[in-house]
Amino acid sequence: MRKIDKFEKVSEENFKRLVGVKRSTFEVMVKEYKKAEEERKKGHKVGGRKPKLCEEDRVLFMLEYYREYRTLYHMGIDYGISEGQASKVVRDVESVLIKSGKFSLPSKRVLYESDSEIEFVIIDATESPIQRPKKSKSNTIQGRRSNI
């Protein structure tokens, strides 16, 4: 069963909560990915194993991976694919969408060159404790005295 079929009955608001983008944005992403897949298949012989995930499920997989921040192993188990294949799906869909130019953020240079003012800046200042060895004077002095 396709995973995307479960999301068809979900309301627009809940779809965005689950996936992270609006349904219309998702449909544009799928359209771009399908177009890139058709271009890639042009001129190739038809053969090989059929993919386990359809195009919609691949885009959904990538969005869920970034939204939920789960490991590729766990995501792969949910979708019935291996961890390596899960990684390949994420990289493939991501690169196709970035190359399309519709889903990439502008560079810093573009922001600086534009006439608009930056209204606010967001800084991630999450503290994370680091365990370090304790230094004691007795250990340091003994080391110095042994060299005399």
Q: What is the pLDDT of residues 60-102, one digit of tens each?
A: 999 999 888 889 999 999 989 999 999 999 999 999 988 888 8
pLDDT score of 145: 57
Do 92 and 63 touch, CB atoms closer than 8 A? no
| Residue-wise burial string across 17-51, b where 16 or more C-beta atoms lie within 10 A, e elsewhere | ebbebeeeebebbbebbbebeeeeeeeeeeeeeee
CA dist 92 and 138 (Å) reads 57
Judge whether residue 13 has pLDDT over 80: yes
Mean pLDDT of 125-141: 68
Residue 122 DSSP symbol: -
Decide: pTM greater than 0.75: no
Write down the pLDDT at residue 101: 81
Contact 57, 89 (CB under 8 A): no
Span 98-123, mean pLDDT? 74
Percent of the chain past pLDDT 90, that is, above it, reads 27
Q: Report the distance separating Cα 14 and Cα 87, nearest Å.
A: 26
pLDDT for residue 61: 92
Lowest mean pLDDT segment, chosen from 31-40, 55-64, 77-86, 100-109: 100-109
Which one is predicted more confidently, 23 or 140?
23
Average pLDDT, the chain: 81
Q: What is the pLDDT of residue 92?
A: 92
